[in-house]
Chain A
Amino acid sequence: KQEVTQIPAALSVPEGENLVLNCSFTDSAIYNLQWFRQDPGKGLTSLLLIQSSQREQTSGRLNASLDKSSGRSTLYIAASQPGDSATYLCAGNQAGTALIFGKGTTLSVSS
């Protein structure tokens, strides 16, 4: 069964820094790999979805990559801002199954 691990569990950076969040998964037969943002007490906001045939996706200051052979995905955030402070969740699934979530990385960006 797919397991998803995220490192680090927490990260604090000053405003303006570029940063990388890491996600690893156990089953390389992953179909969708998705990154979400969750603010305290709120639901999920989908950030980027990488499907099986894709290697990366970009949206604004965010770039996510997927390397199925190594079982890894990274979320790159450029020029971080205090508004980026949130918990970032990585989730993956095989075709037909539910997304399985990692425990998340809690990001704090100080001004």
Chain B
Amino acid sequence: GAVVSQHPSWVICKSGTSVKIECRSLDFQATTMFWYRQFPKQSLMLMATSNEGSKATYEQGVEKDKFLINHASLTLSTLTVTSAHPEDSSFYICSARASGVFGEQYFGPGTRLTVT
């Protein structure tokens, strides 16, 4: 159990366009989801925390108007990279927390974004 999926697994887009990444908890309800990004040869950096039905909380230095997060249901969160630029090329990973504040975080397989 506790499976998290992401779609797409990889995407190539042109500079200036927007890209939406979906994160789904397949077999549990997730009141809280987290978005991370990972640049080559670096560790995962937390971008934002989203709670179902409320606005996401962004980490310092992450532009909320550029990285739009929607957590409209207990099984789906989306990250939209707006007006993407080559420097947004990265590996984006979501995770979902099963229940309450003590629940384990389960991670999706990641989405590799390349902006040309």
Chain A residues within 8 Å of B, Cβ to Cβ:
31-32, 34, 36, 41-44, 46, 49, 89, 91, 93, 95-104
Contacts and interface: CB of A to CB of B under 8 A. Distances in A.
Interface residues of B, number: 20
A104 B38 CA distance: 12
Contact of B107 (A32, A44, A93, A97): A44
B43 A99 contact: no
A103 B104 contact: no
A44 B93 CA distance: 9
A46 B107 contact: yes
Interface of B: 34, 36, 42-46, 49, 93, 95, 101-102, 104-110, 112
A98 B46 contact: yes
B43 A96 contact: no
A91 B108 CA distance: 16
Contact of A103 (B42, B102, B105, B106): B42
Contacts of B42: 103
